[in-house]
Structure 1
Amino acid sequence: MNTNALVDRGAKLLNLAHRIILKVSGNRLLTNPFGMPVVELHTVGRKSGLPRSCYLTSPVHDSNRVVLVASKGGDDRNPDWYRNLQSNPDAELVIHGSRRKVHARTASADEKAELWPQIVAAYKGYANYQQRTDRDIPVVICEFRD
């Protein structure tokens, strides 16, 4: 098995473990890792057209938007959820128990420059992820539609 396949399998197992812990604990455990709320992102698979979901953290959020970081732990590839949003930017996410419709877009260079210090202040690991890769890690702004 190649390295990319191992990384992808590990990420899927981590997401499954997170899903199980949230379910078993009645959404009491792992809802705010590193002080950031967990969001469940619901997208449509860009190849399959099937519903997809994953758990992510949101380092920056307010009443109008949720900001996500497509870091994939500093991998040289963009995460699947990000590629799904590029194909179909209308999605849903669950934050603080509320399911909301969003329109996702990649932050412009200026927006990212403004958001990045806030992102790193929320979780210093994002700076380490950026150092691990030559890829410019996308910042995704999910604006509420309802």
Structure 2
Amino acid sequence: MSDIPSAEFMKELNKSIVEEFRANGGKVGGQFEGADLLLLTTTGAKSGQPRLAPLAYLTIDGKLIIIGSKAGADTNPDWVHNLRANPKAHVEVGTGSYDVIARELPRDERDALFAKVVAAAPGFGEYQSKTSRIIPLFELARA
């Protein structure tokens, strides 16, 4: 039995997180209480439709960083595929929202920054240890 939650479970969880985020000015409780969360809207790589995902983010060296961890699963989260196909996206942070351009960090830059990610949020190091894939990092810059 895998400890990775089902797609249906994640869809429902994400829906409830989005609703709570929007109702409370970007704050949520439960397992994400106190975490820095944003809502990322990407364009579906195949569908061309908007795709919404609540994500933890970190600000490191003045850069807004999102982490494609998927809790250490062996596949990337869907939003990674979508950003690789179309780096233009939209974020909601707190009560604000704006358009961004995503840049996937190249391996050397990613590796240097990942140590800072793990120092700030050790769970991401645990996720990396669960999978053989390299967990991607993306910088989101205002468009």
TM-score, normalised by the number of residues in structure 2: 0.85
Gaps of 5+ in 1: none
Change (3 A) 1:6 1:38: closer
Hey, what does 1:133 align to over in structure 2?
Answer: 131
Which contiguous aligned blocks of 4+ residues in structure 1 show a shift greater than 6 angstroms? Answer: none
Separation in 1 of the partners of 2:5 and 2:25?
A: 30
Where 1:55 maps in the other structure, the secondary structure is strand
For the 8 Å contact 2:18–2:39, the answer to whether it is kept is: no
For the 8 Å contact 2:17–2:28, the answer to whether it is kept is: no
Which of the numbers 70, 77, 80 marks the counterpart of 2:78? Answer: 80
Separation in 1 of the partners of 2:39 and 2:51?
A: 10
Hey, what does 1:54 align to over in structure 2?
Answer: 53
For the 8 Å contact 2:25–2:95, the answer to whether it is kept is: no
For the 8 Å contact 1:102–1:142, the answer to whether it is kept is: yes
Hey, what does 1:17 align to over in structure 2?
Answer: 16
For the 8 Å contact 2:128–2:135, the answer to whether it is kept is: yes
Deviation at 1:132, TM superposition (A): 0.6
Hey, what does 1:37 align to over in structure 2?
Answer: 36
Identity %: 31
Kindly tell me the number of residue pairs found equivalent between the two proteins.
141
Gaps of 5+ in 2: none
Deviation at 1:78, TM superposition (A): 0.6
TM-score, normalised by the number of residues in structure 1: 0.83
Where 2:47 maps in the other structure, the secondary structure is coil
In the TM superposition, what whole-angstrom CA distance separates every residue of 1:71-100 from its partner, at most 9, and x where no partner exists? 001000011011111111011111132212
Hey, what does 2:109 align to over in structure 1?
Answer: 111
For the 8 Å contact 2:57–2:64, the answer to whether it is kept is: yes
Separation in 2 of the partners of 1:27 and 1:118?
A: 24
Change (3 A) 1:132 1:27: same
Change (3 A) 1:19 1:88: same
| Alignment root-mean-square deviation, CA | 2.5
